[in-house]
Amino acid sequence: MDIPSSSKFYPLPCLLTCCSLFSGFYSIVSSINGHFFAAAVAILVAAVFDCLDGRVARMTDSTSTFGMELDSLCDLVSFGVAPALLAYLWALTPYGRYGWLAAFLYVATTALRLARFNSQATSSGPDFIGLPCPAAAMLIATTVMFSRFLGTADTIKHISILVLVYILSYLMVSNHRYLSFKHVDIKKGKRFQIVVFMLLFLILLATEPPVTLFIVAMAYVLSGPVLALYSLITRRQHVTGKKKVS
């Protein structure tokens, strides 16, 4: 009897997913050993593998329920436990129970975000509902890298990091929509401009990676609330216009 496609095991996407898990675990070990910059870089590497496994699965028509469940389990480690531990050991320890509660809340909301994503995978539309956990983890990682760029010590104590962890936890379980970039329709007339933009981005990335990556991660995290605010303003203007006409 043929195995249903939903439960089939496809080696290549699963191997990439396990590479993401390995990077997340390496980040945890590095954080415990006090190598916070290496831990941050490992989270970024995990995000790259997480992006690749989905792309490869779709390109090779090898998506399956097994792969989706494996991906979620690995994401909980790489983008839940790893960034929470990094943030806690790097900046939240001085805040006592408020610090470890913030780290726990981050892990818990990551698990809730992944569970909601899996249950709504076929009905959420082209965009993400709530901040994707890889993006949240990347902001924590790039914040560590950006702080090193500014010349801070190995560990810091700043209330903004504590607030950031709480905000990211909220955004992951919020109803704000975030662009997924899975189905980007680029018109022929715009392709040349896109290539030029990508070249400029690569130049900026090669010049100052911590700064560029931090700005990109922060911009994406803020895009959800900004789009929600824009939608609210547009809706109110539409309602006001209708009242004036009537």
Cβ-contact 106, 84 below 8 angstroms:
yes
Structure tokens at 115: 């569970």
Q: The whole model's pTM is what?
A: 0.86
Type of residue at 98: Y
Choose between 1 and 166: higher pLDDT.
Answer: 166
Q: Which domain holds residue 159?
A: 5-245
In total, how many domains does the chain have? 1
Q: Which long-range contacts (CB under 8 A, 24 or more apart) does 66-69 make?
A: 66/6, 66/7, 66/8, 66/9, 66/14, 67/10, 67/13, 67/14, 67/17, 68/118, 68/121, 69/118
User: pLDDT (tens digit, 9 = 90+) per residue, 145-154?
Assistant: 999 888 887 8
DSSP 48: H
- Nearest-angstrom CA–CA distance, 16 and 78: 13
Rounded Cα distance, 186 and 189, in Å:
8
Closest CA to 132 of 74, 165, 105, 171: 171
Q: What is the pLDDT of residue 243?
A: 62
pLDDT higher than threshold 70 for residue 25: yes
Instruction: Give percent of the chain with pLDDT exceeding 90.
Output: 53
Give the domain CATH number at 152.
1.20.120.1760
Which of residues 194 and 105 earns the better pLDDT score? 105
Q: What is the DSSP letter of 81?
A: I
Residue that wins the pLDDT comparison between 244 and 149: 149
pLDDT band at 188 (very low <50, low <70, confident <90, very high): low
